[in-house]
Homo-oligomer: A and B are copies of this chain.
């Protein structure tokens, strides 16, 4: 009975999962590199608490591939001390970024009362041109500069004030709105998740960090919310192309959120099934390994194997399953309940294990 107690502590121990290398975040998928990106951060140039170079130091420490500094255009509580200069955060941080090998994206946060709320515009050339009174003019100018525009934390003042209205429909029909934050900091927005699937918008998940980043080690539960971008190369241009193509997933707390076509190969890169290392009568003993930084949670949908399996982050577990009568192979059907292909809907996965 007490063996269980020991196991609990082990999980705790292994669950420190700070990425040591960029490639530790999540594996690449066939045809694409998996880049860890935080596309929504702030500095002292708007209401953040750090000098822009700190965001680069933090990104390097956490082995992020790319960040956008997206200070508010309209909200600058420090401006009596630090006069408005929208393009400066990017300029200040750029040299350190190239030295530290962090891809830096020039961006801003368009910050209006809710509705219409807050929108990030990425890949801008001159942010000053967006500092103009009418909301529609700002979005138009962003699109003139070929920006990628997404709606931030749409429901942060409640689902009602964040509902999809004619304004969003206009933006959407003009192709001026390209994505939504499905996760922002500690919040997940199921309605954003649903709309992204319905309207083919790109899913994003970002930190919206204002304070200095914690340098506590990541755990499977507590870490920076990031957008996983499936890009052809590790360049700003490739990130642009991938965002426009909707090739993203979101790592939020102990969940990965995304389209099934990307979560499936991502899961397959994370979880591997070893050959049975032992057989006792008709019971096979085999190992499931999880290279991901999240605990993989599996719920049985088929007839064989344990009803639930948790493979802790960056760890492995030994599992047993019975061979069907007279068979040499057992097929296992599960749902990965924290790989969300839609709100509350886990990714279906299958394995088979063979007698040796």
State the A residues within 8 Å of B (CB): 1-6, 8-10, 12-14, 16, 18, 20-21, 44-45, 48-51, 53-54, 57, 60-61, 63, 78, 81-83, 85, 88, 92, 98-101, 156, 185-186, 207-217, 219, 222, 277-278, 280, 285, 287, 289, 314-316, 318
Contacts and interface: CB of A to CB of B under 8 A. Distances in A.
Nearest to A214: B9
A1 B111 CA distance: 15
Contact of A9 (B14, B88, B98, B222): B222
A269 to B, nearest CB: 15
Which of A16, A212, A280 is the most central at the interface, judged by chain B CB atoms within 10 Å of its CB? A212
23 contacts: A3-B210, A5-B207, A5-B209, A5-B211, A6-B214, A8-B222, A10-B215, A12-B219, A13-B217, A14-B217, A20-B315, A21-B315, A44-B44, A49-B54, A50-B50, A50-B54, A50-B212, A54-B211, A81-B88, A99-B278, A99-B280, A101-B278, A215-B215
Contact of A212 (B12, B54, B100, B314): B54
Contacts of A212: 6, 50, 54, 212-213
A21 B289 contact: yes
A53 B77 CA distance: 13
A4 B207 CA distance: 12
Contacts of A214: 5-6, 9, 215
